[in-house]
Copies of this chain bind each other. A is one copy, B any other.
Amino acid sequence: MKKITIGIIGAGRIGRLHAKNIIHIPEVRIKTISDLFADSAREWASKIGIENVVADYEEILIDSEIEAIFICSPTDTHIPIIKRAAEEGKHIFCEKPISFSVEDTEIALAAVEKAGVKLQIGFNRRFDRNLLKVRNTVEDGVIGEPHIVKITSRDPAPPSIEYIEKSGGLFFDMSIHDFDMARYVSGSEVVEVYANGGNLIDPEIEKAGDIDTAVITLKFENGAIGIIDNSRKAVYGYDQRVEVFGSKGSITVENDRPTSAEISTEEGVFKDKVKYFFLERYKDAYITETYAFIDSILHNKPLLCTGNDGLQAEKIAKAAKQSLVERRPVKITSET
């Protein structure tokens, strides 16, 4: 069995999630994890059998045994790490967004291209079986030419104010997945954005300069119209639905629920709430995306989610922000 040695940069929530998934892939060996707070990461790491924990990610980048890295550190560290990793000839899995600046992202992508390494962006939803089915069905022409694309994406609870202050705001930390999904399921680029936003949940979010509720309309290159609705707080759980309506029909995919049980009593009929959040809902998708990345390296297959996919989503996020501020539709171009 061909094996690959990797390093993980960042041992926060998402870094640990990837690590726990990766230890189950027989073809991969996690050699090193880096985290600024190496000491607190060490105990956790040793429990899942990873002995090498370092504070400085540079140790991973210069380790010639390591062929690929997962970048799970804060967004503002992504660009320098990508550039260095590309220099060192390492394949890169980078969490979304690549950066908060379209220009910076473009520079990093150029470095990746020059080095000839692979760069996969962590748009995990592309690997969800339901959303993949939407894409494939549209691509196969089953519903004809897409006319309307609808994406519902609501979180169960807002993140901390600290997070919001550094995340780039709702469009960059949350809607960015939906911007990618819009391109992914429609197979078309977005050319115009109009964003409606509101502060309906928590005044602290407004004070932090962000919104908590948004409805974004998109125009696609092919003339189709897209709708994304976002909320930071769906009290019933993580609401993730997609619909594409076209000239020959429509496809919808529903939320996953823990079980299919339906309980009927004198009071009414009860079903399970939707799965709580992304860790539950996209559990399998997170696993599949890491397999796909490893598989792409081992067998030199094309990536299903490239650096350009990251870049285009950022362009849409940027335009949405501008639209919200200027209260008008904003045009964008997908050229890199």
Contacts and interface: CB of A to CB of B under 8 A. Distances in A.
Contact of A194 (B150, B194, B200, B231): B194
Nearest to A264: B236
A274 B265 CA distance: 10
A148 B229 CA distance: 8
A199 B147 CA distance: 10
Interface string A250-282: 111111111111111110111111100000000
Contacts of A272: 268-269
Given A148-B231, A264-B273, A265-B143, A130 B249 contact: no
B236 A249 contact: yes
- Residue from A147, A219, A245, A264 whose CB has the most chain B CB atoms within 10 Å: A264
Interface string A224-235: 111101010111
A233 B145 CA distance: 13
Nearest to A270: B268
Give this chain's copy count. 4
- Residue from A145, A235, A251, A274 whose CB has the most chain B CB atoms within 10 Å: A235
Contact of A229 (B145, B150, B235): B150
A231 to B, nearest CB: 6
Nearest to A142: B263
A129 interface: yes
Interface of A: 1, 23-24, 26, 47-49, 129-130, 133-134, 137, 142-143, 145, 147-148, 150, 152, 154, 194, 196, 198-201, 213-215, 217, 219, 223-227, 229, 231, 233-237, 239, 245, 247-266, 268-274, 327-329
Given A236-B264, A257-B269, 14 more contacts: A1-B47, A129-B258, A130-B261, A154-B245, A194-B329, A198-B223, A200-B224, A200-B247, A233-B247, A248-B265, A250-B263, A250-B264, A253-B261, A270-B271
